[in-house]
Amino acid sequence: TVDTPITVPSPSLPPLILTQDELKKVAAYKAVEFVKSGMVLGLGTGSTAKHAVDKIGQLLRQGDLKDIVGIPTSKMTHEQALSLGIPLSDLDSHPVLDLAIDGADEVDPYMNLVKGRGGSLLREKMIEGCCKKFVVVVDESKLVKHLGGSGLAMPVEIVPFCWKFTAQRLQLLFNEVGCVAKLRTCSENGQPFVTDNGNYIIDLYFEKDLGDLNAASDAILRNPGVVEHGMFLGMATTVIIAGGRGVTVKNK
């Protein structure tokens, strides 16, 4: 395991051979250096954010952090944080957070994100939109030139009512960039994947560059069946990227 983050990219040194999970841990631990006693923290969801939540739990146990309040972005993170003894709250009681740490599926050069391949995009966006500082932690495989250009899913959370109709509307919306809309299903039983909020996820796959992201965001949200989408535009204040040659910290 890698406990001490590498802080300076070193092109002169040979690259370190770390697994993807070790890189995630390096980025997550680096982000936890921003956490101070007394903070209200957004706790992210996914395999990268999990490392940050584990580390926060460890620092609390050791007495190196005190008076932390965590606001989990999913039921899964809620369970994890509970098991670590992290005191928890919600947006009703703490509408302003000091800091959130979360992973991402894609990060573009302007620090725009795709999130939600883990299915928690709605709570993530609600919570991370209320943070003074939103630190995104990724391994270098998440870096893309254009959001949606990796050929992987752009998640959209929709209400289950007439989901086929909403999926068709979304696919038609992006006809010009070769869009396919697919209902996310559970691999175990083929049933629709249901989010923590009781909704479905439509994954959009694009053949071409999406173009104007703000216009795409507005167009998606204009559909009444849509609850939220996984583009996080202009929200990240810091992105921490772990790669074989070290850690890069990008600030807004």
Q: Site residues (CB under 6 A) for ligand 5RP? A: 44-49, 102-105, 115-121, 124
Please identify, using beta-carbon distances, which residue of 38 and 229 lies nearer to ligand 5RP: 229
Please identify, using beta-carbon distances, which residue of 59 and 152 lies nearer to ligand 5RP: 152
CB 32, min distance to ligand 5RP, A: 15
Please identify, using beta-carbon distances, which residue of 117 and 169 lies nearer to ligand 5RP: 117
Question: Cβ–Cβ contacts within 10 Å for residue 180, how many?
Answer: 13
Query: 3-class secondary structure for the chain?
Result: CCCCCCCCCCCCCCCCCCCHHHHHHHHHHHHHCCCCCCCEEEECCCHHHHHHHHHHHHHHHHCCCCCCEEEECCHHHHHHHHHCCCCECCCCCCCCEEEEEECCCEECCCCCEECCCCCCHHHHHHHHCCEEEEEEEEEHHHECCCCCCCCCCEEEEECCCCHHHHHHHHHHHCHHHCEEEEECECCCCCCECCCCCCCEEEEEEECCCCCCHHHHHHHHHCCCCEEEECEECCCCCEEEEEECCEEEEEEC
CB 29, min distance to ligand 5RP, A: 14
Please identify, using beta-carbon distances, which residue of 98 and 124 lies nearer to ligand 5RP: 124
Please identify, using beta-carbon distances, which residue of 165 and 247 lies nearer to ligand 5RP: 247
Which of 33, 79, 124, 176 is an active site residue?
124
CB 72, min distance to ligand 5RP, A: 12
Give 108's contacts (C-beta < 8 A, 6+ positions apart). 144, 145, 146, 147
CB 123, min distance to ligand 5RP, A: 9
CB 25, min distance to ligand 5RP, A: 11
Q: Establish whether 188 is a catalytic residue.
A: no
Active site residues: 124
